[in-house]
Amino acid sequence: FQFRFRTYGSTEGNVDVWLLDYVTVREDGMVPAPEFEEIAFVTKPSSFLVEPWTAMPWPHFVLNQNAYTADEAVTVHRSFGEGSNSQQNIGLKAQRVDQLGSVNEWTPPAGNVPNNAVSGLFTTDYVGETNPVPLFNPAISGFPTFHVSLWETEVGAANETNQDGVTDNDSIVHVQTFQDYYAYDDGSAEKAWALDGIGGELALRFDLEQPDTLEGVMVHFTPFFDDATPENFVLKIRGEDPDNPGQPGEALQEQFTLHQPQYFTDGYDQFQTYLLDEPIAVSGAVFVGFIQEDDRINVGLDKNTNTNPDYLWYKFPSTDWNASTIEGSLMIRPRLRVGQGSLAAVSDPTPAPAPAVFPNPGRGTCLFDLTSPSFVTIRDASGRLVEDLGLCQEGRVEWNAPEPGSYLVEGRNQGGASWTEVWINQE
């Protein structure tokens, strides 16, 4: 026999999205079916950082990680079955996954039952119950990515079944990133947001926790009915209006480069980085966004978080600034040059002789010889940080690429002089 699943909706991009969870099929199944008692995860926390952040640079975070780590992490669960069930022996673990090691793990005392004899939907605060302090190892350096795992090991004691949880339902993982950007969104676009009018401008406010240098703006342009690839826009970076705190003020630097939305076909919810004409030293409140030349450029809208009413502003050539009333979080992020030295050196970089990268094209391994100690980073063709090599000593440096493609090898010596080389990996 066969199953057929049909969905009715639009195929014009990120419009009608649905998920088939799982189907259980058993040969010679019992009639009536045996009783089923289970507790399963429904949703995970959108972040383990304090609101409104879902991501921030690690060097900014570790300066005051107790203030930036969430003091609660609420998950939603469902208790299945005819009777009530108990949730027992919950646990939490934070493990760095971009490098080996650096594991932090906490488990509550055996027999801990934060939710006893529950039916239907209920919540659990994993941070409040386990009190993991610190959640992330402060001795870590670089730009780490963590998997924060949550689990429950037993259910059913309330109705005397003492049934073990179904393996696929009793754990869930949240990916917590600490890269070179701030974010309000959780990385998934459930809807789209756009300005309906020629010359519309949007500005998303970010209150930076530390002074830094703004290099560009990351945007997820989501496919939604109209293909906006031919449309032009110009980045706009503003400070705060001193007469109207919280609102966009004057431009910090005029931008002249015309950009176009870029869509991705090799994955979902991906971001494109659009670099500024020149890096800008920023601190405190900064507004990042763009002015559209024509009409409607759809940006991804995360509906699992809701920061738009507090941080998103828009205007048209004949209007004043207006606060957005659409719930959700716009998928725009400021990309910073974090931990790369003084702002003066970044804002007015001095060129330096670039070492030859070889073999070019290469097959997996990139080599180059440094004539002086240098801070080295690797970025992909879109400007996304791939790896921070930190301070590399004089001599030969070897780097292994994770996948084929073009990479920017960027270096800056301790005197502030910088260089950039393009390397192509064919394997």
Spatial distance between the Cα atoms of 211 and 416, rounded to a whole number of angstroms: 18
**Alpha carbon distances (Å) from 90 to 28, 32, 117:** 35, 33, 15
Dihedral in degrees, nearest 10, Cα atoms 399, 179, 288, 303: 130
pLDDT for the residue numbered 30: 65
Residue 72 DSSP class:
-
Query: What is the fold of 191-336?
Result: Jelly Rolls (2.60.120)
- Say how many Å lie between the first and final Cα of the chain, rounded: 43
Q: If DSSP codes are grouped into helix, strand and coil, which group holds residue 214?
A: strand
pLDDT for the residue numbered 225: 77
Domains 38-177 and 191-336 share a fold: no
Spatial distance between the Cα atoms of 235 and 246, rounded to a whole number of angstroms: 20
Spans of all domains in the chain: 38-177, 191-336, 349-425
Report residue 329 as tokens: 């979080």
Spatial distance between the Cα atoms of 165 and 263, rounded to a whole number of angstroms: 41
Report residue 77 as tokens: 């669960």
Give me the residue label for tokens 């008692």.
37
- Residues 411 and 390: beta-carbon distance below 8 Å: no
Query: What is the fold of 349-425?
Result: Immunoglobulin-like (2.60.40)
Q: Give this prediction's pTM.
A: 0.73
Spatial distance between the Cα atoms of 228 and 262, rounded to a whole number of angstroms: 8
* Residue 293 one-letter amino acid: E
- Residues 122 and 149: beta-carbon distance below 8 Å: no
Assess if CATH 2.40.10 describes domain 38-177.
Answer: no
pLDDT for the residue numbered 347: 37
Per-residue pLDDT of the chain (427 residues; tens, 9 = 90+): 677 777 777 766 676 666 676 666 667 766 666 566 778 888 889 999 999 999 999 999 999 998 999 999 999 988 877 778 888 778 888 888 887 766 777 777 666 677 888 888 999 898 888 888 788 888 888 889 999 988 887 665 544 455 555 566 788 899 999 999 999 999 999 999 999 999 999 999 999 999 999 999 999 998 877 788 888 999 999 999 999 999 999 999 989 888 999 887 666 788 999 999 999 999 999 999 999 988 789 999 999 999 999 999 999 999 999 999 999 999 999 999 986 643 333 333 456 788 989 998 899 999 999 998 888 999 887 667 889 898 899 999 999 999 988 888 988 887 767 788 888 898 7
Spatial distance between the Cα atoms of 46 and 302, rounded to a whole number of angstroms: 11
Residues 6 or more apart whose CB falls under 8 angstroms from that of 357 comprise: 366, 367, 368, 409, 421, 422, 423
pLDDT for the residue numbered 379: 85
Spatial distance between the Cα atoms of 144 and 132, rounded to a whole number of angstroms: 18
**Alpha carbon distances (Å) from 161 to 35, 164, 171, 221:** 10, 9, 20, 50
Cis preceding linkage at 309, omega within 30? no
pLDDT for the residue numbered 343: 33
**Any alpha helices (H) in 157-237, and if so which ranges?**
none
Residue 183 DSSP class:
B
Report residue 276 as tokens: 């500024």
pLDDT for the residue numbered 265: 63
Burial 341-363 (b: 16+ CB within 10 A, else e): bebebbeebeebeebebeeeebe
